[in-house]
């Protein structure tokens, strides 16, 4: 069966970020897996992959979700894991303000508990409001949250920057969050 690039990207996200066991795939502690093993394990589930297809997905994915080793023998997801993975990202000094897109129905909980990673390892933050809007729109009526990152960082919160330029942190307490556009 022929799969579209979008279907393959979703499949790769599933097995590289959340459920490698679905196809019996092994990820190392840093989330890497051998591409040949990925191709073989996917084939056993009737999902046709090749080095060429995987490299094309990595290069053309608009969100740059995946990363290849320099020799193109291994692949991993850049962020968004719900399974324990150590990406070995160094702590970074973030810009003063970052954004998070969400659905309006989640605002009461966010105002009470802040932003939590949920099943993922980190809260994902965007450098621009447009990206946050796109993310929020995937979940319902979008709301853009403005995060006072300068104050968070000054108060000792750690920030990391993934390979695809998504800012990551463990938790954003409610006191650092405002709804963009509100005073």
Residues of the chain with CATH 1.10.10.970: 5-77
What CATH number is given for 5-77 in this structure? 1.10.10.970
- Examine the pLDDT at 2 and tell me if it is beyond 60: no
**Distance (Å, rounded) from C-alpha 77 to C-alpha 124?**
14
CATH architecture of 97-179: Alpha-Beta Barrel (3.20)
Calculate mean pLDDT across residues 148-160: 96
- As a whole number, mean pLDDT of residues 70-98 equals 92
Neighbours of 69 (CB within 10 A): 12
**Tokens standing for 15?**
């097995």
Domain with CATH 3.20.170.30 in the chain: 97-179
pTM for the whole thing? 0.77
């Amino acid at each position: 069966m022929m799969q579209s690039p979008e279907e393959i990207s979703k499949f790769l996200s599933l097995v590289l970020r959340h459920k490698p066991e679905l196809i019996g795939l092994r990820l190392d502690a840093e989330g890497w897996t051998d591409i040949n093993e990925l191709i073989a394990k996917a084939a056993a589930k009737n999902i046709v992959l090749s080095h060429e297809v995987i490299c094309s997905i990595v290069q053309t994915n608009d969100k740059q979700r995946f990363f290849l080793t320099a020799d193109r023998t291994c692949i991993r997801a850049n962020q968004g894991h719900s399974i324990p993975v150590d990406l070995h990202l160094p702590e970074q000094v973030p810009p003063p303000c970052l954004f998070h897109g969400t659905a309006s129905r989640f605002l009461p909980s966010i105002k009470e508990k802040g932003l939590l990673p949920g099943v993922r390892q980190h809260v994902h933050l965007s450098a621009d409001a447009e990206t946050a809007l796109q993310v929020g729109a995937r979940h319902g009526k979008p709301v853009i949250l403005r995060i006072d990152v300068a104050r968070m960082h000054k108060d000792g919160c750690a920030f990391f920057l993934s390979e695809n330029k998504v800012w990551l942190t463990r938790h954003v307490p409610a006191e650092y969050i405002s709804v963009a556009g509100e005073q």
